Amino acid sequence: MPPAQDGFQEEEALGKGYDARLMRRLLQYLRPYKWYVALAILILLVASFLQVVGPWLTLIALDDVIPNGNTSLLAALAAAYIASVVLGFFLLYAQTVLTTWLGQRVMYDLRTEIFGKLQRLDLRFYDKNPVGRLMTRITSDVETLNELFSSGVVAVFGDLFTLGFILSAMLYMDWRLALITFSVLPFVVLTAFLFRMKLRNAYRDIRVRLARINAYLHERITGMMVVKLFNREEHDARRHREINQDYLEAHLRSITYYALFFPVIELFTAIALALIIWRGGATLLEGTVTVGVLAAFIQLTQRFFRPIQDLSEKYNLLQSAMASSERIFMLIDREIEIVDPPDPVPLELPVRGEIEFQNVWFAYGKDEEGDWDWVLKDVSFRAEPGQRLAIVGHTGAGKTTIISLLMRFYQPQRGRILLDGKPIDRLRLDELREHIGLVLQDVFLFSQDVAHNIRLGAQNITEDQVRQAAERIGAAPFIERLPGGYNQELGERGATLSVGERQLVSFARALAFDPQVLVLDEATSSVDSEIEAQIEKATNELMAGRTSMVIAHRLSTILGADHIVVLHQGELCEEGTHQELLEHGGLYARLHELQFARTPV
Ligand code: DGT
Ligand code: MG
């Protein structure tokens, strides 16, 4: 797959023009609300028609009613004029509410769809797409579509209707005067075209620069401690000023175009009016045009250019919406590699917890020559039901990768992985993951309360079970010391707890879910000896009575293992019990010597 497709690439597509295929797909989102759309269009039709009612009433008043001296009818006409304006006001109100409502509904649906997709996407996708960029893209692209739906799609009809009505009224009243008005049209169209082009480039610059600022901000905020530690504030501030300045300039440029465009259109309107008064006045004197027609024309001309101006603005909106929707659809359409099999085999309950890796080869990606960059090479091992299996090896050996494959976060290129004798890619994903509990090296806690972090919203885990799990793990004492106890809100990522405490919470979480197979990626960070002892006890508690697979960094865990496999650069090089491996005198013996032998136990 080429990298441009792999990454959620954004900026290239921005210059895109109108694309009927994308538009059709976008309009699909309006389908559930089609009656509301129809109503909005109907309202616009009436509102557009009202645009010519006023001039028409003027015409009748001046040409028919006043010459005949019919004062009562004149009053009725005046009342009708006011009524048309008032009705226009209510229609505008109704239309604004309706279209904004529509826009918001569509956004709601889109956000739901995108989040659903994000949850199903392979983890591989997230390896390649930085969070900051993903966030900006999703929020700003959705926002662009919001504008399209709430002020674009439907309103375009309004502008077109208005133009149509005014054009027909003009031609009907007097085609020669109509032609005079149209004579400035080429200039207006040209201006609108130039405006659109300039603005498009300015918008592209704005978006590219905004993405850059956001990416920069995201990184600097996350890495604030490093920035401070190495006194990079001055340097980073300078860099920020630069990109901030770029962003400012792009905005200022777009403002210039706007500031010019509207007055220029006004100018053309004035020229058209002057022409009408000049030529129309002359024909009036010749007697070929009535006062009423001239007065109506002056009003119509004033209303004629506004929809053109609106349309050219909306064209820009349409263009950025095209680019945004393309990126959103790209995300929605992304193929997901790891899905439920079409004909899943059920696990036999209760799950025994037998795990087997058969000649598994796995690579995260390819190297420059296009060959797989193997992280695991022909790995085979087996954990019997109830056994404690330890995996040891240097950093980068591929230990965590083994776990990721077992959980089916990734798909191995070759070989099979079996749970209770069933290939895991034949099982339903939720069934597989339900029976395997995983405690990660880096604990992830959510910014919610402690109890929620243990239960993660699972309905079948009661308040009592949460407490029991915490007690058995030995997390209860410190949780109860928290001001809010189990209801204590944790900071973002559990920042208010220490590393050891966070680990205990994640242990309690795994225990509460009570899986048949437990997978533990032991943290490498050291904690004080008191917490260390607690974690050792908690580890034993967790592993009791189930098959467990532990990536062991702690000697006590290794010593407690029934079977140890040693991984070296993606290959399984030794296996056996602690005693056997020591006697063998290979890599394990060396690792043991390096890591543990000299540290007092
Ligand atoms: P540790 O946790 O430091 O003891 O190391 P292990 O044994 O858990 O290593 P592991 O499985 O995280 O990484 C094995 C190799 O795979 C290492 O060279 C880094 C690479 N690797 C790990 N995760 C990813 C990933 O998401 N994408 C890519 N492209 N490579 C990865
Ligand atoms: Mg690891």
Q: Does residue 340 fall inside a structural domain? A: no
Q: Are residues 508 and 522 in the same domain?
A: no
What's the pLDDT at 16?
55
Show the domain range for 560.
348-435+518-526+547-601
Q: Is 484 in the pocket of ligand 1 (CB under 6 A)?
A: no
What is the DSSP secondary structure assignment for residue 345, as one 8-state letter? P
How far is the centre of ligand 2, averaged over its atoms, from the C-alpha of 568 (Å)? 13
Q: Is 401 in the pocket of ligand 1 (CB under 6 A)?
A: yes
Residue 1's CB: how many other CB atoms inside 10 A? 8
Q: Does residue 536 fall inside a structural domain? A: no
Q: Is 397 in the pocket of ligand 1 (CB under 6 A)?
A: yes
**383 with 389: CB under 8 angstroms?**
yes
Q: Does residue 339 fall inside a structural domain? A: no
What 3-state DSSP class applies to 409? Answer: coil
- Among all ligands shown, which has an atom nearest to the Cα of 123? 1
What's the pLDDT at 203?
79
Q: Does residue 151 fall inside a structural domain? A: yes
Task: Say how many domains are in the chain.
Answer: 3
Which burial class, exposed, middle or buried, applies to 167 when counting CB atoms under 10 A from its CB (0-12, 13-18, 19+)? middle
H/E element, 4:
helix 3-6
What's the pLDDT at 7?
40
Q: Are residues 427 and 471 in the same domain?
A: no
What's the pLDDT at 525?
61
Q: Are residues 76 and 153 in the same domain?
A: yes
Nearest CA to ligand 1 atom 11: 398
Single-letter amino acid, residue 319: Q
Task: Kindly list the averaged pLDDT for each block of 10 residues, start to end, along the chain of length 601.
Answer: 39 58 89 92 92 90 85 89 94 90 90 90 82 76 84 80 92 89 89 85 81 84 88 91 93 88 89 90 84 89 87 80 85 89 89 93 90 94 92 91 94 95 93 90 86 88 90 89 88 78 90 90 72 82 88 83 92 92 88 68 42
Boundary (domain end) residue, out of 468, 492, 514: 514
What's the pLDDT at 598?
54
Q: Token pair for residue 585?
A: 């005198």
Give me the DSSP letters along 475-502.
Answer: -HHHHHHSTTGGGPBP-GGGTTS-HHHH
Q: Is 365 in the pocket of ligand 1 (CB under 6 A)?
A: yes
Q: Are residues 388 and 301 in the same domain?
A: no
Q: Token pair for residue 140?
A: 């700003």
The rounded distance, in Å, linking the Cα atoms of 387 and 561 is: 8
Q: Is 398 in the pocket of ligand 1 (CB under 6 A)?
A: yes
Helices 291-333 and 153-173, axial angle in degrees (round to 10): 160
Q: Are residues 162 and 197 in the same domain?
A: yes
CATH number at residue 466: 3.40.50.300
Boundary (domain end) residue, out of 332, 367, 402: 332
The rounded distance, in Å, linking the Cα atoms of 546 and 548 is: 6
- Among all ligands shown, which has an atom nearest to the Cα of 404? 1
- Among all ligands shown, which has an atom nearest to the Cα of 396? 1
How far is the centre of ligand 2, averaged over its atoms, from the C-alpha of 321 (Å)? 42
How far is the centre of ligand 1, averaged over its atoms, from the C-alpha of 584 (Å)? 27
What 3-state DSSP class applies to 19? Answer: coil
What's the pLDDT at 381?
95
Q: What angle do CA 391, 395, 398 make, to 5 degrees?
A: 55
Q: Is 399 in the pocket of ligand 1 (CB under 6 A)?
A: yes
Q: Does residue 531 fall inside a structural domain? A: no
Q: To which residue do tokens 């290129």 refer? A: 413
Q: Is 395 in the pocket of ligand 1 (CB under 6 A)?
A: yes
Q: Is 127 in the pocket of ligand 1 (CB under 6 A)?
A: yes
Q: Of all atoms in ligand 1, which is nearest to the CA of residue 127?
A: 26
Q: To which residue do tokens 């077992």 refer? A: 406
| pTM of the shown model | 0.75
